[in-house]
């Protein structure tokens, strides 16, 4: 789960700003079909609240690419990527595991903008659902929700990996691993109250880019699954040395 992601259509309040109009003209689109991007709309974004955490569709693109083209998704079939957006209203975008994510940022932005547009969707690729992150997390057992942040306990996630590997293999329960989908700062939503105190984790003694966290967490789960395949009762083929 990419939570509080820096992904949204350009807000209506700044669609007439010169930087937005120029970018929309360059892309041959109307401003209501352009994703907010601090690289092009920085001067307009000074009017927006929480501007430091908004307008990074490239960050979300990197994270999704890092997660989807992995053994966890393509071989173990144990991954589902979700993107939580906050503006103008909270929404969850769930990506079908079979989706081929566009390598081009421009193409990715086009598909995402279509999924975010009111009343529109691309069911075969991205399914958007109008719901809050708090409501979405209610679908999981609290013990199966893990959040990654520099505010978390270093390396504490390691001790939960064997259980998560078992869950991934049996397919009986879903765990939710939450990574911040923004470029700076910390989580700010009240959904954090639903997270158990010892389920806030840090995986490095320094701040990491979101796509690095995604890549490392996915790899950690894969390694745990590979280790668990040595159990003859699992449903995956035993990995040869």
* pLDDT tens by residue, 58-112: 999 999 999 999 999 999 999 999 999 999 999 999 999 999 999 999 999 989 9
pLDDT the model gives residue 126:
84
Question: Would you place residue 119 in the very low, low, confident or very high pLDDT band (cuts 50, 70, 90)?
Answer: low
Span 162-218, pLDDT tens digits = 999 988 888 878 999 999 999 999 999 899 999 999 999 999 999 999 999 999 999
Q: Are 63 and 148 in contact (CB under 8 A)?
A: no
Distance CA 105, CA 119 (A): 23
The pTM score is 0.91
Nearest-angstrom CA–CA distance, 69 and 83:
16
Q: Say what the pLDDT of residue 241 is.
A: 45
Q: Indicate the pairing of strand 2-5 with strand 81-85.
A: parallel
Looking up residue 99, the CATH number of its domain turns out to be 3.40.1280.10
233 band by pLDDT with thresholds 50, 70 and 90: low
Contact 159, 150 (CB under 8 A): no
Separation of alpha carbons 107 and 65, rounded Å:
13
Range with the lowest mean pLDDT among 36-40, 125-129, 193-197?
125-129
Distance (Å, rounded) from C-alpha 11 to C-alpha 32? 8
pLDDT band, very low/low/confident/very high, at 160 (cuts 50, 70, 90): very high
Mean pLDDT of the chain: 91
Paired with 85 in beta bridges are: 5, 91
Nearest to 64 by CA among 183, 241, 211: 211
Q: How many domains does the chain have?
A: 1
Q: Is the pLDDT of residue 237 over 60?
A: no
Rounded distance between C-alpha atoms, residue 181 and residue 209, angstroms: 9
Question: Residue 71's domain spans which residues?
Answer: 1-241
For the beta carbon of residue 10, count every other beta carbon within 10 angstroms.
26
The pLDDT, as a whole number, for residue 171 is 80
Give CA–CA dist 134/138, Å, rounded. Answer: 6
Of all residues in the chain, what percent carry a pLDDT higher than 70? 93
pLDDT the model gives residue 231:
63
């Amino acid at each position: 789960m990419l939570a509080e992601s820096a992904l949204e259509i350009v807000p209506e309040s700044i669609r007439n700003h010169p930087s937005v109009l120029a970018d929309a003209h360059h892309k041959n689109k109307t401003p209501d079909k352009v994703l907010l991007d601090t690289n092009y709309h920085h001067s307009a974004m000074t009017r927006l609240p929480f501007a430091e955490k908004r307008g990074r569709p490239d960050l979300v693109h990197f994270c999704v690419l890092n997660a989807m083209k992995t053994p966890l998704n393509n071989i173990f079939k144990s991954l589902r990527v979700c993107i939580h957006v906050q503006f103008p209203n909270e929404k969850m975008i769930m990506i079908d595991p079979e989706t081929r994510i566009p390598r081009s940022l421009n193409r990715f932005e086009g598909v995402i903008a279509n999924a975010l547009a009111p009343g529109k969707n691309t069911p075969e690729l991205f399914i958007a659902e109008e719901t809050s992150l708090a409501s979405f997390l209610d679908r999981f057992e609290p013990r199966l929700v893990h959040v990654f942040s520099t505010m978390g306990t270093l390396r504490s996630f390691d001790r939960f990996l064997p259980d998560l590997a078992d869950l991934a293999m049996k397919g009986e329960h879903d765990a939710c691993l939450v990574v911040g989908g923004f470029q700076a700062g910390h989580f700010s939503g009240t959904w954090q109250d639903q997270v158990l105190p010892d389920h806030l984790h840090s995986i490095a003694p320094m701040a990491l880019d979101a796509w690095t966290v995604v890549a490392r967490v996915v790899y950690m789960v894969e390694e745990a699954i590979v280790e668990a395949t040595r159990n003859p009762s699992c449903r995956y083929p035993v990995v040869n040395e």
